[in-house]
Structure 1
Amino acid sequence: MKRSLSNRKLAIGIPLTFPYVPSTFFDSFNIMEKPDYEYIRESNGPVDEMRNNIVRRAKRVGATHLLMMDVDQIYHPKTFVTLASHNLPVVGSLIYRRYPPFDPLIYSGTMNEYLLIEDFKQGDLVEVAATGTGCLLLDMKVFDILPDPWFKFTPNPDPERTGIVGEDFMFCWNLQKAGIKIYVDTAIPAGHISMFEVNEHTYKFYKKVAKVRKEALAEYLKSQQSAEAD
């Protein structure tokens, strides 16, 4: 599924999920190195349908590759050139969840049990089972292999589990079933915009605070048990 770099036609697709575009996203998008590209934005409807419309429009303009981006991200200037250099069907940037526990959105396993990958070395290219779609470079051929609609909120296929599977993880699950590998380049992070930027440092700080709280609670419970014994 690999293509020559010289034969690529890039589309950049952005679903406008915010009622506004943060200036930090706008600035990082502007300074990011990228070749000529078709700009595709969607601004109406559920995010899964917006992503599907982006893919359909990318097909119509003859794009060979689609860079899916989100407006709640801050992108590294080398995002596209680094991801493109891997020449892979599906490769993304490292993104951390924008709310606690701020964990990295890279998982192994299957839909029945996704497991957080934490033991990666910063800078590694990591094969994953699932990741987010906030910064994902896709060879358009994957959309010929998978059926339309590619992105869809879906009830959990595991009968023992409840809830809805997000459009990003369902897409990754379908890629996995089709034998298409997914990679994340941990050298190219994309900051997640919340009330503040969520990145590796946020995640590590949260883990440290959570550990201190857990130890303090354990010490408190121990002291209570001792007091009751007396």
Structure 2
Amino acid sequence: MTIKCIAVDDEPLALDMVSKFIEQTSFLSLQSKFDNAIQALGYVNQNEVDLIFLDIQMPDLSGMELARILDGKTNSKKPKIIFTTAYNQFAVEGYKVDALDYLLKPFSYEEFLKAATKAYQFFENQKKNTVTKVEIEKQADYIFLKVEYQLVKVMLKDITYIEAYKDYVKVHLKDKPNPVLSLTSMKSMEDLLPADTFMRVHRSFIINLDHIDSVSRNVIHIGNAQIVVSENYKDSFMEFLNKWVG
């Protein structure tokens, strides 16, 4: 498998280095290179690109802005991104646009190859499965959660409840003292989890119905947690509750 790449960087030396690294990596194919993100966007809109090695700090249109534009595309062919930057403060933003990796300048070929190999493994998994990424995550009795720059397998039966926490979600697990912290939204988790087992009961909580210990009025007890059912979700929860006790 060959991954079609472009490189984008406004610094000529950095652009030449990344381009050289791509060309000496057997499974990467350099399609083009750009010193600004606007030209790169035009190319991506007209050509098939699998992977972009993308600088962040650029004039006119930054690499992060380009990444957000591409992330907003609805087609499944949108390219993946590996950021190449001298600034580490953009790491969280990189998570939000689902970047594959984040290379901090100056980086060696060894570091570049490690990131490129991660991309290769990602595309190999896509090739082996004809379903979309979301469908892959929904299969069987587990999901994958993005925790830092890795995917962590979590069994559905072990999830007791999910709690919103700033830009993250806390996934609380049975018999685990600490929750798994994943940079995603409650809406994404709600869409990902099977509706016959998991229910949104509050803008900040999704519960695993199988782990409910008791219910008192509008409060759900799961272990030591007490989760209030908000007004917006009360009707759907009461419908479940009536079936549960009936």
Normalization by structure 1: what TM-score? 0.28
The higher-RCO structure (CA 8 Å, 6+ apart) is 1
Normalization by structure 2: what TM-score? 0.26
User: Which one has a larger percent helix, Structure 1 or Structure 2?
Assistant: 2
